[in-house]
């Protein structure tokens, strides 16, 4: 179903770690960016669905803007959320651990421990100020995507040993993919 949604929409290539933009801090979106942001958000959602994934931050598509898109596809139906200038305003004291992956680290997964709940303030595509409180998968997704806006990847929450293993494995898989593509 996710692929069908993206066929008619433009997509943007997703950057793969260790691309330097992924480690840079994104700048706030201003009013002058309205039309650009709507277009970028639509392309980000299309790229996210095609990948397939459940969240994408603008730096992952080479745009250092504070913009994220999320769609957990409840009941297998699209329910996209676009968050402009999101900021975490509250985090729970208790922690939760879940397996995370990332479209910028394809095929790589690890257990990440984060606060179990969060409250995020943001602007929607109409410019309305909103707040969302989340736990479970949405909580992890929000924190993960907002981390991208700060130049933080999920592997940065791991020990140096685990992070290095994942990054070496990713580099090896990407080299193998390039070699395979050259042979075709």
- The set of catalytic residues is 145
Helix (H) or strand (E) holding 48: helix 34-50
Other beta carbons within 10 Å of 181? 8
SS3 37: helix
What's the start-to-end Cα distance of the chain, in Å? Answer: 29
Residue in the structure block whose two tokens are 């997964």: 109
Q: Which one, of 89, 38, 26, 88, lies nearest residue 63 by Cα?
A: 26
CA 112 to chain centroid, in Å, comes to 15
**Could you tell me the two tokens for 36?**
């650009």
């Amino acid at each position: 179903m996710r692929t069908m949604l993206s066929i008619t929409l433009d997509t943007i290539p997703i950057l793969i770690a260790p691309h330097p933009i992924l480690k840079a801090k994104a700048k706030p979106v201003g009013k002058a960016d309205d039309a650009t942001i709507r277009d970028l958000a639509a392309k980000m959602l299309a790229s996210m669905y095609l990948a397939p994934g459940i969240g994408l931050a603008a730096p992952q598509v080479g745009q250092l803007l504070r913009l994220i898109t999320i769609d957990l596809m409840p009941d297998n139906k699209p329910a996209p959320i676009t968050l402009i200038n999101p900021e975490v305003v509250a985090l729970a004291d208790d922690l939760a651990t879940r397996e995370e992956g990332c479209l910028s680290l394809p095929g790589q997964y690890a257990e990440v421990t984060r606060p179990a709940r969060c409250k995020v303030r943001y602007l929607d595509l109409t410019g309305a100020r909103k707040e969302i409180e989340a736990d479970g998968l949405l909580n992890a997704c929000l924190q993960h995507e907002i981390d991208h806006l700060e130049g933080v990847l999920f592997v940065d929450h791991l020990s140096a040993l685990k992070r290095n293993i994942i990054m070496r494995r990713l580099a090896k898989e990407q080299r193998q993919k390039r070699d395979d593509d050259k042979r075709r």
